[in-house]
Amino acid sequence: MNNADYSQKVIEMKNITKKFGSFKALDGVNLTLHKGEVHALLGENGAGKTTLMNVLYGLYAANEGEVYVKGEKLTSANPSIAIEKGVGMVHQHFMLVEPFTVVENIMLGTESVKGLGVLDSESAKEKAEEIMEKYGLKVKLDEKVEDISVGMQQRVEIIKALYRGADIIIFDEPTAVLTPQEIEDFIKIVEELTHQGKSIIIITHKLREIKAMADNCTIIRRGKYIDTVKVSEVSEEELAGKMVGREVNFDVEKKEKEAGEVVLKLENLTVKDNRNIEKVRGLSLELRRGEILGIAGVDGNGQSQLIEGMTGLRKIESGKVILNGVDITNRSPKEIIGAGLSNIPEDRQKRGLVMDFKISENMILENYNKEPFSKKGKLNKKAISDFANTLIAKFDVRPANEEAYAKELSGGNQQKVIIAREVTNNPDVLIAAQPTRGLDVGAIEFVHKSLVEQRDQDKAVLLISFELDEVLNVSDRIAVIYDGKIVGIVNPKDTDEKELGYMMAGGGVHDEE
Amino acid sequence: SGGGDEGGESGEKSIRVAMVTDVGGVNDQSFNQSAWEGLQKAEKDFGIGASYVESTQDADYVPNLETLLDSNNELIWGIGYKLSEAIKTSAENNPDQKYAIVDYSYGEETPENVVGVVFKAEQPSFLVGYIAASMTETDKVGFVGGIAGDVIDGFEYGYRAGVAYANKELGKNVEVLVQYAEAFDNPAKGKAIANSMYQQGADIVFHASGGTGDGVIEAAKEQNKYAIGVDRDQNYLAPENVITSAMKRVDMGVYNLVEELKDGKFEGGSTKVYGLEEGAVDIAPTSSDNVPKEILDKVDGIKEKIVAGEIEVPLNKETFEAYTETLK
Amino acid sequence: MKNKQIFLTIFSVLLGLVVGGIALAVSGYNPLEAYGIMIEGVFSRPRYISWTFIRSVPIILTGLSVAFAFRTGLFNIGAEGQYIVGAATAALAGYFLELPAGIHAVVVIIIAMVAAGVWGGIAGLLKSKFGVHEVISTIMLNWIALYLNNYIVFWDKFRRPQSEASQKILETAQISILGGLRTSGNEFIRGIFSTPVNLGIAFAVLAALFVWYTLNKTTLGYELRAVGYNRDASEYGGINVNRSIVISMVISGALAGLGGATQVLGVTKEISVLAAMEGNGFDGIAVALLGNTTPLGSVLAGLLFGGLKYGGPKIQPALGAPSEVIDIMIGSIVFFTAMPNFIKVIAHKLKKKRGEAE
Amino acid sequence: MISLTEIAFILGTTLMYAAPLMYTALGGVMSENSGVINIGLEGMMTIGAFTGATVGYFTGNPWLAFLAAGVSGGLLALLHAVASITFGADQVVSGIAMNFLGGGLSLFLSRIFFDGATLTRPINLDDKMPRPFNGIFERNSVLDLVLNQYATVYIAFLMVLLIWFVLYKTRLGLRIRSVGEHPKAADTLGINVHRLRYFSVVCSGILSGFGGAAMSIAVVSNFRPTLISGQGFIALAAMIFGKWKPQGAMWACLLFGGAQGFIIYFGGTGVNISNQLLSMIPYVITLLVLMGFVGKSNGPKANGEPYMKQDLNL
Ligand SMILES: Nc1ncnc2c1ncn2[C@@H]1O[C@H](COP(=O)(O)OP(=O)(O)OP(=O)(O)O)[C@@H](O)[C@H]1O
Ligand SMILES: Nc1ncnc2c1ncn2[C@@H]1O[C@H](COP(=O)(O)OP(=O)(O)OP(=O)(O)O)[C@@H](O)[C@H]1O
Ligand SMILES: [Mg+2]
Ligand SMILES: [Mg+2]
């Protein structure tokens, strides 16, 4: 972004080592940040990026190594000290108190008071308004955080940091949950921040964003420092190679294939959300055998309700779901699964797994009451563990121990368990909702391969993703969802992100009413 | 502190007597405590060993009796009618062991090794009813019961009869408000009920409700009204307000029986009935502090009549109704 | 893993005994003497052992009830009320039904378990249908059960005259065992059976087996546990979540009700007016927690607490020491089981010290 | 029909019964808004009742007694705090332990201080909590019936106001609630999660102790084993009923108190309803209300979750 002033080091982390028990999450990592610089931090899942930043922010105390902020050594680990020194952090999972208003969140921890500890929201609002003005960040201060969009929530986080006078801001995977439009806005905000002399550290798995935003990039692998490179001098492939220590194939390998007969038909579906608002509004769609149909769309346009409606988790108000010619509208989840519809759920920890169950128990979640896993209500332990072991081997789940609990697995391996289970159900239609969210490139590769395999076996796959890249690379056809309806179906070969983004934002849609 | 520590150490003490309380516990300010005081007095006077075990739930009675059975007690007391079944079973299983029970009569079926000790609670209740009716200025008095049953019936109907007697004799028309707390250990409720009665215009409330009655007395204190205590002389709880108490000298019953035991006169298979005659029921000695002498004089007259059998005090609904007929 | 858990539990119990000992010592009693009396009071005679079992049965069963619910993600504070309902129903059915011996008892137990199951099921239903948290609904149901019990006792057709108790159940409904052994020539056997020892302990063991088997070996157990751990995932996997919650509470309630029923059929033979909660359900919570919510653990913890509750009060006539020290001990034991981290720290410190000393 | 004085009587009785519950429910509000479940309110209330009665008896100073009751409840709560905050204990389990300890300690100590009795000796009327409006209104007049209450009743309402104010209007309150909703967020902002939770839990013990004393030195004048029996749990229910808000908890407590008032009133009217059935009413009403009107009430999000920055570094 070229606002960097290399004569001023604002952060120096030297030889940082951090242990959790006997496990070394960080092992001698270095990082230097200059004034006005945007510095990317790259590494696989679990490489230690977040841990490193938590050390910087004072949430963890390092076992070894030193941290200097603007030349001063930090002597103890405590967020208040970091805050005082001008370090702000926007966490991967937003650190916002949902039932609080925006302004309450902004001032929390550095509240203005009138005396006797009585809150003075007015002066906090004034101060926040000033910041919003200066950096072009607009949010409604009196709304509750739980009622605003994710993009807005991120702005709140940024304002929070600035409110505390931060001039060094750490972003942990800031774009993972944003829409393309919001990502663009975010890049502009970063630009504006560095322009005003702020320094930025950004963690992201998206190499393109690194290229777009960062001046330099530090790469760590399994807690070890690998390299720091000038972003303008390396390609995306080189970055990825450094990150995983081998070559990475970005393209999804996919043979040409003719789609077959229609297997799933959605007719005029209407589904409401928890607040009783119609989120899916007269949606129709056809899915054929042997194709991957991608659904592109900005979060909140009815994707979740659509999936829940189809899978029997939410009532369909009107319309029909027809699978293999059978009407499965508003059947119970059990019946729908039985009819041949499987689902890799959006939220793997909430819906996909029972975290306190063993891998083996999770593997039979939909089939525990079928033979051979049980007979007349009695579980067959041997059949279950044999089954689990087969899948563990086939899908390379680590650790390869059916007795391990789901909560002990890493995100990528949790996803593998789900995919193994759903694919083994041998469904006619597989719904994959955000199947690669939060996964690193290696894991993503695996997931995409699995989806394509399904397609090649003449199954139908419905891929729902906010990642345009993914939708474009993996799908055979792309349907764009906007405001609860399909607003267009395009061929990935004949389109690009720009057009999709336009459609996803409702461009070209004219409401009938 | 505690019970029977002295009793435990010396093997010389010839006789050991112990008791099992009901769930009220030994310091219930009511009959359990009274019984324990009787035993302690016996310990002092006769040099016996005395101890107790407290019960915390009904299921404790049997094992508690067994605990005492194993510690070589000459006589084991069960305090309160709640223990009647447990005592009976235990007595039948251990024919060589002597038992006694307070507030319960097995009548004809009393086992040979058991003595029942019962009190004519209706008699002192009659007397306090008379006092209440004589002293009320509002012509309304109250009765707060614990849980309805034969024992508390005696108090209620004795009291009502006393009021009825006074109504006739004094030409008054005193009304009796009656309410049960359905609990023997809920002073808050006792207080609220008494408050309700005072609010309705009663100025004297008699209670036969164990710990619940503490609340009744509390209400009297707060409202500066009168209350009448039960079982023991409860005047000490509110000297200005507890004008009298319908005393049931459980201590005396216990003490007397231990004395008989010591003298080798223990007579199993019988029931001892204590009334005014034996001096085991009466109004509290402190009554003279608050009750005018002329009323107390009249009470003495009534006592004589009861002892002489001229007045037969009713002890339940039926006898009470019959009794009111005779007053007409 | 398992060994560690057992170690933590034993350590908690020891710490609890230490705390109890300190309380006794501070108030001027010799803790060793007191513990001696308790141990003697439990083990020195066959009869005492019987009593310990008798005292343990209800809390083992309420413990199993709580543990079962716990394993399915529900916190059943209502074992107390379910126990009461079981007891009251057993007393009613034991008195009013007229059936041949043996069959009568079986029928009574079934009816009591059904009634208590329904009582637990109400809380389950309220949770699944109306989202009422089971902790609050079971607290309310406990009180309703208590007054219901008193209402039943005071019912004129059922109340035993001159008492605050109900009629006795019929002979045919009793579950005392082997009455003949009471007059056995063998002193030990005579001692054991001189108490109202009954089939309760057998029921408790059977119930523990049932809980273990159901939870670990059946699809029902799988469903219930899945729902307990993660309702969303269970729903997604096709499990009927609402039904599971109700079933779980029904079973939990039935277990507590079995506790009440065995107590009535085997020990008290009647029910009486309850002035306050007797605490069987709350003791059950302690039992379940100390037992790490496992069936075997609950049985062992139930026996331990049963022993404390039976043997503990004996220090009162013997030493004049307050028997409430038992509650302090139970409280401390539960307290320490709540915080394994604390014990880990202590164990670590001890280890380090030993290391230094060497 | 029901007369004005009768209504006044019911109201007065309602207040008498509600006040102890209110303190304790407020205690629950404090603790759980900071994210620590406190199922041990019953034990804390019990020890408060005992301490209040004991200190009141020996010193004759009701205010000292009231404070001491708060301190005792606070000390017990401190144990709960150590377990559930520092050692990341299961808060429900620890709370259950508090109930055993609170009850056990009270009776144990009572036997030591009162010659083996579990019943403490009564406090003189003059040494009980004062009644600020006593003697101002004509006895048993409408105003007297409603307003002639012990100071504890009025303090309870002040406490509702105070805690509402603290929680929703002050910095401290904002922080307490943030710690209960999202402790990690608070932590990243330099807020000391553990300190705030300690504060709130200890406050909850103090309030519960007050609640116990409001029973033992105002409603009645001594402590006995069955004095509290279950009121702590009722207060817990009231707090949930009141959706974890001070004012909500207050209304719920008034509902429970009101039901008691009605029971007493009905019991005196000679209407032939079983006392037992009447006694069930408040609990049945609560269930119905929860079913019908309140529905799902969710507490603070992080309620019950220990916040441990990292595993204990051994
Ligand atoms: N906060 C934590 N406390 C304890 N263990 C943790 C914590 N976070 C993660 N782990 C464990 O550490 C291991 C590694 O997790 P992580 O998600 O970082 O793995 P990963 O290397 O990114 O794997 P993948 O690439 O498959 O996602 C897992 O066993 C996980 O359960
Ligand atoms: N509190 C913790 N206790 C134990 N292990 C931890 C803890 N936090 C992180 N870890 C482990 O440390 C390693 C690094 O984790 P970290 O969260 O820093 O990874 P990351 O690079 O941010 O991964 P991701 O891309 O998935 O966010 C992982 O293996 C993780 O499991
Ligand atoms: Mg990861
Ligand atoms: Mg991370």
Q: What is the CATH number of the domain that holds D114?
A: 1.10.3470
Distance from CA of B27 to the nearest CA of D (A): 5
With respect to residue D52, please indicate whether it lies within any of the assigned structural domains: yes
> Which residues in C lie closer than 8 A to residue D104 (C-beta atoms)?
324-331
Three-state SS at D285: helix
The CATH architecture to which A260-340+427-508 belongs is 3-Layer(aba) Sandwich (3.40)
The string of DSSP codes covering B223-236 is: HT-EEEEEES-GGG
Residue B246 has pLDDT above 90, yes or no: yes
Residue D294 has pLDDT above 80, yes or no: no
Confidence band for C181, pLDDT divided at 50, 70 and 90: low
Residue B2 has pLDDT above 90, yes or no: no
Nearest CA residue ID for atom 14, ligand 1 = A410
CB contacts under 8 A, D 35-54 vs B, are none
Alpha carbon of A472 to ligand 4 centroid (Å)? 26
Distance from CA of A27 to the nearest CA of C (A): 26
A504 and A480 Cβ atoms separated by less than 8 Å: yes
C162 with B147: Cβ contact below 8 A? no
Nearest CA residue ID for atom 18, ligand 2 = A48
pLDDT, position D293: 61
How many A/C residue pairs have CB atoms within 8 Å?
67
With respect to residue D307, please indicate whether it lies within any of the assigned structural domains: no
Lowest-pLDDT choice from A82-86, A155-159, A203-207: A203-207
A87 and A56 Cβ atoms separated by less than 8 Å: yes
How many A/D residue pairs have CB atoms within 8 Å?
71
Determine the average pLDDT of the residues in A443-455. Answer: 89
C272 with B67: Cβ contact below 8 A? no
Q: Which one of A18, A401, A405, A410 would you pick to mutate in the ligand 1 pocket, going by the greatest count of ligand atoms within 8 A of its CB? A: A410
What is the domain-level CATH number for residue C142? 1.10.3470
Interatomic CA distance for residues A112 and D306, integer angstroms: 29
Residue B35 has pLDDT above 90, yes or no: yes
Determine the average pLDDT of the residues in D293-311. Answer: 73
How many B/D residue pairs have CB atoms within 8 Å?
89
Largest CA distance in chain B: 63
Chains A and D touch (3+ CB pairs under 8 A): yes
Which chains are within 8 Å of C by 3+ CB pairs? Answer: A, B, D
With respect to residue C336, please indicate whether it lies within any of the assigned structural domains: no
Q: For residue A496, with 0-12 CB atoms within 10 Å meaning exposed, 13-18 middle and 19 or more buried, which class applies?
A: exposed
Q: How many CA atoms lie within 13 A of A2 on its CB side?
A: 2
Ligand nearest to the CA of A51: 2
Residue A268 has pLDDT above 70, yes or no: yes
Dig out the tokens for A124 from the structure. Answer: 């906090």
Query: Are β-strands B242-248 and B281-283 bridged in parallel, bridged antiparallel, or unpaired?
Result: antiparallel
Confidence band for B6, pLDDT divided at 50, 70 and 90: very low
Q: Model's pTM, two decimal places? A: 0.88
Which chains are within 8 Å of B by 3+ CB pairs? Answer: C, D
pLDDT, tens digit (0-9, with 9 covering 90-100), for C279-327:
999 999 999 999 989 999 999 999 999 999 999 988 887 888 888 999 9
Residue D192 has pLDDT above 50, yes or no: yes
Dig out the tokens for D156 from the structure. Answer: 């309870």
Interatomic CA distance for residues A348 and A416, integer angstroms: 10
Chains B and A touch (3+ CB pairs under 8 A): no
With respect to residue C322, please indicate whether it lies within any of the assigned structural domains: no
pLDDT, tens digit (0-9, with 9 covering 90-100), for B46-74:
989 898 888 887 888 988 898 888 888 99
Chains B and C touch (3+ CB pairs under 8 A): yes
> CA–CA distance from A328 to each of A264, A305, B256 (Å)?
10, 16, 87
Residue C253 has pLDDT above 80, yes or no: yes
Query: Domain containing D242: what range?
Result: 4-293
D57 at the B interface (CB within 8 A)?
no
Interatomic CA distance for residues B91 and A441, integer angstroms: 84
- Number of domains comprising chain C: 1
With respect to residue C68, please indicate whether it lies within any of the assigned structural domains: yes
Residue D310 has pLDDT above 60, yes or no: no
With respect to residue C22, please indicate whether it lies within any of the assigned structural domains: no
B57 at the D interface (CB within 8 A)?
no
Backbone angles phi, psi at C54, to 5 degrees: -60, -40
Q: Which residues line ligand 1 (CB under 6 A)?
A: A 44-46, 408-413, 440, 443
Residue A33 has pLDDT above 60, yes or no: yes
Residue C346 has pLDDT above 70, yes or no: yes
Determine the average pLDDT of the residues in B203-215. Answer: 94
Alpha carbon of C162 to ligand 1 centroid (Å)? 69
Question: Angle at the Cα of A41 (from A39 to A42), degrees rounded to 5?
Answer: 140
CA-nearest residue of chain A to C239?
A334
Roughly what angle, to the nearest 10 degrees, separates helices C200-217 and C295-311? 150
Interatomic CA distance for residues A187 and C154, integer angstroms: 77
> Which residues in C lie closer than 8 A to residue B23 (C-beta atoms)?
275
Residue B3 has pLDDT above 70, yes or no: no
With respect to residue C126, please indicate whether it lies within any of the assigned structural domains: yes
With respect to residue C40, please indicate whether it lies within any of the assigned structural domains: no
Residue B1 has pLDDT above 50, yes or no: no
pLDDT, position B82: 86
pLDDT, position D312: 44
pLDDT, tens digit (0-9, with 9 covering 90-100), for C25-64:
999 999 999 999 999 989 988 888 988 999 999 999 999 9
Determine the average pLDDT of the residues in B77-92. Answer: 90
> Which residues in D lie closer than 8 A to residue B198 (C-beta atoms)?
140
Query: Domain containing C84: what range?
Result: 54-306
To test the contact with chain C by mutation, choose from A308, A331, A368 the residue with the greatest count of C C-beta atoms within 10 A, namely A368
Closest partner residue to C286 (CB to CB) among D100, D112, D116 is D100
> CA–CA distance from B104 to each of B81, B184, B247, B273 (Å)?
5, 18, 17, 10
Share of chain B above pLDDT 70, in %: 96
D18 and D12 Cβ atoms separated by less than 8 Å: no
Question: Angle at the Cα of C127 (from D259 to A302), degrees rounded to 5?
Answer: 125
ipTM for the predicted complex: 0.86
Interatomic CA distance for residues B127 and B275, integer angstroms: 13
With respect to residue C24, please indicate whether it lies within any of the assigned structural domains: no
pLDDT, position C169: 93
With respect to residue D229, please indicate whether it lies within any of the assigned structural domains: yes
> Which residues in C lie closer than 8 A to residue D284 (C-beta atoms)?
140, 144
Alpha carbon of A448 to ligand 1 centroid (Å)? 22
- Write the CB contacts of A471 (distance below 8 Å, at least 6 apart in sequence): A294, A295, A296, A463, A465, A478, A492, A500
pLDDT, tens digit (0-9, with 9 covering 90-100), for D44-90:
999 999 999 999 999 999 999 999 999 999 999 999 999 999 999 98
pLDDT, position B204: 97
Determine the average pLDDT of the residues in C11-38. Answer: 94
The residue among C55, C54, C40, C46 whose CA lies nearest residue C317 is C40
Determine the average pLDDT of the residues in D247-264. Answer: 92
Residue B11 has pLDDT above 70, yes or no: no
Topology of A5-244 in CATH?
Rossmann fold (3.40.50)
Dig out the tokens for B314 from the structure. Answer: 């009713």
- Number of domains comprising chain D: 1
CA-nearest residue of chain D to B52?
D116
pLDDT, position C180: 55
> CA–CA distance from A100 to each of A103, A105, D180, D181, D188 (Å)?
8, 6, 12, 9, 16
Q: What are the b/e assignments for C126-152, b being 16+ CB within 10 Å?
A: bbbebebbbbbbbbbbbbbbbbbbbbb
To test the contact with chain B by mutation, choose from C30, C148, C164, C315 the residue with the greatest count of B C-beta atoms within 10 A, namely C164
Distance from CA of B39 to the nearest CA of D (A): 16
Q: Which residue has the tokens 């605990």?
A: B67
pLDDT, position D313: 44
Average pLDDT taken over every residue of chain B: 90
Alpha carbon of D307 to ligand 1 centroid (Å)? 19
> Which residues in B lie closer than 8 A to residue D275 (C-beta atoms)?
180, 182
Share of chain B above pLDDT 90, in %: 69
Nearest CA residue ID for atom 21, ligand 1 = A46
A379 at the C interface (CB within 8 A)?
yes
pLDDT, position D240: 85
With respect to residue D142, please indicate whether it lies within any of the assigned structural domains: yes
> Which residues in C lie closer than 8 A to residue D94 (C-beta atoms)?
335, 338-339
Q: What are the b/e assignments for A422-445, b being 16+ CB within 10 Å?
A: bbbbebbbbbbbbbbbbbbbebbb
Lowest-pLDDT choice from A256-270, B35-49, B284-298, D290-304: D290-304
